[in-house]
Amino acid sequence: MKSIVLILPSDVPSKLTINQQQALFTSWKSLRPVIQTLMRKILNNLEEEVPKVKQIFCQTAVLDAFSRESTSESVGTLEEHVKLMVGFFDDLVSNVQDEENMSNKIKNIGQRHAILTHCSFSADIWEKLGEITMQSFSRQDVVQKTREAGKAWRILIAWVTDELRCGFDGRTRSNTRNLSLTTVQQVPHERSGQHRHSSDVSILQQQLQQLRLEYESTVPL
């Protein structure tokens, strides 16, 4: 049986060698049958280590249950995030050579979650998610099989984590500036905080729905 040689374009991401990209593609293909289980475990571990994440998932699920416009897909829940993460990594590995485009997509995901700062979501959560994801991937036999695969996943996940945090921090600073400009003009708003909190999570649901549509062709439903 002939071995398959991957021909990669010359403009590969500067942080990954061609051999590392080949190892990335090969290991991802092997991980694909069990990837939903792995992603679910990653998010469950994140919930355990950062309780506020579980609270946010629960709050979003409640809003889904009471929303008249809610679809059969609970776009803000843990299970939907599992699907989104699988689709995201499918896209990432398939387009790893298009670093600029993927960087913009990753930052956009971070930006979309900035609305959750009112729910105590912070940039440190991205760091913890990256840490758990890196540990989980590194423990997989197929990743441990070759040195290049382990290096590739560590480099890739570290880069994704940095881009997520960059997008999140940038949008958070922008939101803070805009809020400072409008706060002075507002009337007393004892009840506005709760309203804004629910509105923020609802907006995030809409944004996650858009993300789901973007990855719909690659996410197993």
* Residue pLDDT, tens place only, 97-145: 899 999 999 999 999 888 888 778 899 999 999 999 999 999 999 999 9
Over pLDDT 70: what percentage of the chain?
A: 67
Report the chain's mean pLDDT, rounded to a whole number: 80
What was the pLDDT predicted at 12?
45
Angle between helices 18-31 and 147-183 (to 10 degrees): 90
- CATH code assigned at 68: 1.10.490.10
Residue 84 lies in a domain: yes
Residue 40: partners with Cβ closer than 8 Å, 6 or more residues away: 78, 79, 82
Number of domains in the chain: 1
Residue 118 lies in a domain: yes
Residue 199 lies in a domain: no
pLDDT in tens, 175-185: 777 665 555 45
Residue 12 lies in a domain: no
pLDDT reading at 4 higher than 90: no
- State pTM to two decimals: 0.76
CB 138 within 8 A of CB 195: no
Residue 2 lies in a domain: no
Residue 217 lies in a domain: no
Residue 110 lies in a domain: yes
Domain that holds residue 95: 18-181
Residue 76 lies in a domain: yes
For the residues 69-89, what does the mean pLDDT come to? 78
